[in-house]
Amino acid sequence: MEAGLGAIKSTASAAWSACFLLLSVLSVNALAWHIWALDRFGPESEKARVLRIDMDNSYSEMFEYAMLLAAAVTMIFIALRRRTAVILLPAILCGYLVFDNAFQLHESAGRMLYPEHARAGEIIFAALMIVTAIGIGWRVLRNADIFDRQALFGIALVMLAFSFFAVGVDAIHSIVAAYWPRYALFVGGIEDFGEMLAIALLVAVAVQLLQLATSKTNARI
């Protein structure tokens, strides 16, 4: 029994490592193209737009959407395999993030909440969404089994890392852009690259959980 659990954990760990390594390499590649495009064409050039990691509708943004959707689909498979709706919560959150970025919902909400300073409104809206997600997650966890609790805890840590860049570093970016504009591009790059790595980690965690969930015996994470 112990040997079986060890093999399951080892396989899941290998899948996690391989997935995260692959997506990290692709993320670093996107960052390299971003730096090259800025150096080759300049920050104001339309030619650089599709290669930058901090622009809407760029290749990097499409890559992030693909990773978020992959994470969501993987979590749905986990929920179906375990016949539980608990893991659907982060899957819905991933889908929301794609929808939010594609249609710029947080920008619109920011303008509605704080018309005089839309960026501050965006941060307030993001904070409200985080608190709501934590509240729902806490309620769901009360009736979850040990596997689902550990799974949600792991996913929550990754989402906190994502929030650090999406909310925290974004706030710093706004301040830097207002007072030290020459450094805004650099801070913005840190923000978007950090988000990309966090999403890559989320996909890797989802793959690991799928490996554990589809095993004959659910091993502890």
More confident residue, 97 or 200: 200
Quick one: pLDDT at residue 192? 95
Give me the count of residues in the chain: 221
Report the half-sphere exposure of 154 (CA within 13 A, side-chain side): 20
Q: Decide: 43 and 186 in contact? Cβ < 8 Å.
A: no
DSSP 52: -
Query: For residue 199, is pLDDT > 80?
Result: yes
Alpha-carbon distance of 184 to 173, in angstroms, equals: 6
Please state whether the predicted TM-score (pTM) of the whole model is above 0.75. Answer: yes
Distance CA 118, CA 107 (A): 7
What is the CB neighbour count within 10 angstroms for residue 100? 17
Q: What is the pLDDT of residues 13-44, one digit of tens each?
A: 788 889 999 999 999 999 999 999 999 998 88
Q: Which of 32, 61, 31, 63 is nearest to 203 (CA)?
A: 63
- What pLDDT, in 10s, does the model give residues 37-62? 999 998 888 889 999 999 888 999 99
